[in-house]
Amino acid sequence: MNKLEDIVSLCKRRGFIFPGSDVYGGMAGTWDFGPLGVSLKKKIMDEWWRFFVEERDEMYGIDAAILMNPKTWVASGHTATFADPLVECKECKSRFRADKIADGINESVTTEEFLNTHTKCPVCGKENWGPIRKFNMMFSTHVGAVLPDDDTELAEKNIAYLRPETAQGIFTNYKNVLDTFYPDLPFGLAQQGKAFRNEISPRDFILRDRECSQMEIEYFVNPKNWEEQFEDTRNMQHEFLEKIMGLPKDKIHELEVPAEDRAHYSKRTIDFMFDYPNGEEELMGLAYRTDFDLSNIARESGKSMEYRDKITNETFVPHVIEPSIGVERLFLAVLSNAYMEDEVNGDKRIVLKLPENLAPYRFCVSPLLKNKPELVIKAKEVYEILKKKYKNVTWDDSGNIGKRYRKQDEIGTPKCVVIDFDTLEDNTVTIRDRDTTEQIRESIANL
């Protein structure tokens, strides 16, 4: 199993991911995506959108605002229930999420249950804990001209939250889509976007951070058919993860979440777990949210959320199937699965065996020698041909050819195309395969 620190090191060394605000000493739970990370992340998101939205007739896209009316989070239950168990060490004053530092407990742990685990502080090693307190993870801010010395009542009237999930932006637009597109059931609304969670103790690289990107679908169904739609979505998730993202089936595990551990809105949840370098962690979720959200919106807003069946004229509030995934979690799953170490001619090699549809670059074009103008000119011609045809092509003439191969292996480029002196004679190039390191000759016309 690959070590997480090796992947973190590769990400920084090759420009996939940098610590957030690194020049100022960083900020816990924040990460910046570099040039290659942006490319891989975008490809992952584009493949998700193509698979779940563009290739289906009953899907519609949404891009809702991050700042929403605070009533949204009252109706959704986040104001009251979106909280983690916080515990503080009385010795060193460090704070932790209780269920993540002790074994055998969950998010609903009581102070007594936690103390009975005899967990020692990860920082100072002492066992002297304060009581469990519920910590709401929503980031709050103020909208409009509110000053620090304004009275409490005015400040509370202007409070707003950075959204902790993208789902509510979909639910609040359900009626808008219904009234403008008149879709038949079942239909889905999909969204990709930022979500913010004030994690007590962010950790494990990009697995648990304070700012993340989510890809979510709210699939509206007749309550009579929810089980069939749930199973269909479940199968689609496996197809996406295994066939589109290239993740091995034996690293993906389903966890049927028991009632006491499910989110407050869910009647059934399956967590898709993945074998990360640091152990099994949640990758993707599938929840049956019933009519919880739409009924709450109807109650709080006073507006009907009912759907009228076009054939039977029956009216009802649709139920919802929700497949949800964090982009960063999927990014790390793809990256960690692709990370390999092997030997080539006795030398250690690090290689990212990324699926070709996700690799930041499909080809790297190089002249065998950069100090030979005739090779450079010909290589530029080949580069322009491939760039025009495939778009994601890079150029590399630094160092010797062996070092270029190693660099491209580390960033996951499937093929290296080298222009040498034979090219000038017969218009063929050397194509070197990333995974096998085998080389073949091919004519430029066939590229």
Condensed to tens digits (0 to 9), the pLDDT of residues 93-119 reads: 888 888 888 888 887 788 988 999 999
Q: If we measure between CA atoms, which residue out of 399, 393, 361 comes closest to residue 380? A: 393
**Which amino acid is located at 169 in the chain?**
G
Which pLDDT does position 51 carry in this prediction? 97
Average pLDDT over every residue of 138-144:
83
Is 80 exceeded by the pLDDT of residue 338? yes
Q: Where are the domains of the chain?
A: 4-71+165-335, 361-446
59, 168 in Cβ contact below 8 A?
no
Is 60 exceeded by the pLDDT of residue 411? yes
Is 90 exceeded by the pLDDT of residue 173? yes
- Cα 409 to its chain centre, rounded Å, is 24
End-to-end C-alpha distance for the chain, whole angstroms: 36
Average pLDDT over every residue of 120-139:
88
Residue 167 makes CB contacts below 8 A (sequence gap 6+) with 216, 218, 293, 322, 324
The pLDDT tens digits for 58-68 are: 999 999 999 99
Residue 254, CA atoms < 13 Å, CB-side half-sphere:
12
* Beta bridge pairs of residue 443: 428
Is 80 exceeded by the pLDDT of residue 263? no
Q: If we measure between CA atoms, which residue out of 97, 89, 177 comes closest to residue 137? A: 97
Which pLDDT does position 149 carry in this prediction? 66
Is 60 exceeded by the pLDDT of residue 1? no
The pLDDT tens digits for 427-437 are: 999 999 999 99
Helices 327-338, 4-13: crossing angle, 10 deg rounding: 100
State how far the Cα of 143 lies from the Cα of 159, in Å rounded to an integer. Answer: 6
Helix (H, G, I), strand (E, B) or coil at 23: helix
Q: If we measure between CA atoms, which residue out of 135, 106, 272 comes closest to residue 201? A: 135
The pLDDT tens digits for 70-91 are: 888 888 888 777 778 889 999 8
Tokens of 383: 């580069």
Same topology between domain 4-71+165-335 and domain 361-446: no
Which pLDDT does position 153 carry in this prediction? 64
Q: What percent of the chain has pLDDT over 90?
A: 66
Residue-wise DSSP of 168-237: HHHHTTHHHHHHHH-PPSSEEEEEEEEEE---SS-BTTTTB-SEEEEEEEEEEE-GGGHHHHHHHHHHHH
Is 70 exceeded by the pLDDT of residue 150? no
Which pLDDT does position 433 carry in this prediction? 95
Which pLDDT does position 147 carry in this prediction? 66
Average pLDDT over every residue of 426-447:
93
Is 60 exceeded by the pLDDT of residue 250? yes
Q: If we measure between CA atoms, which residue out of 332, 122, 322, 104 comes closest to residue 209? A: 332
Which pLDDT does position 154 carry in this prediction? 59
Residue-wise DSSP of 298-343: HHHH-----EE-TTT--EEPPEEEEEEEEHHHHHHHHHHHHEEEEE
Average pLDDT over every residue of 359-385:
94
Q: If we measure between CA atoms, which residue out of 267, 245, 241 comes closest to residue 254? A: 241
Q: What are phi and psi of 214, to 5 degrees?
A: -120, 155
Q: What percent of the chain has pLDDT over 70?
A: 97
Between 208 and 298, name the one with better pLDDT: 298
Which pLDDT does position 183 carry in this prediction? 94
State how far the Cα of 383 lies from the Cα of 433, in Å rounded to an integer. Answer: 17
Which pLDDT does position 159 carry in this prediction? 82
Which pLDDT does position 46 carry in this prediction? 97
334, 358 in Cβ contact below 8 A?
yes
Is 80 exceeded by the pLDDT of residue 148? no
Which pLDDT does position 89 carry in this prediction? 92
Is 80 exceeded by the pLDDT of residue 2? no
Between 128 and 138, name the one with better pLDDT: 128
State how far the Cα of 122 lies from the Cα of 411, in Å rounded to an integer. Answer: 35
Question: Quick one: fold of 4-71+165-335?
Answer: BirA Bifunctional Protein; domain 2 (3.30.930)
Average pLDDT over every residue of 376-396:
94
Q: If we measure between CA atoms, which residue out of 387, 346, 347, 332 comes closest to residue 364? A: 387
CATH of domain 361-446: 3.40.50.800
Average pLDDT over every residue of 44-57:
97
pLDDT band for position 262 (cuts 50, 70, 90)? confident
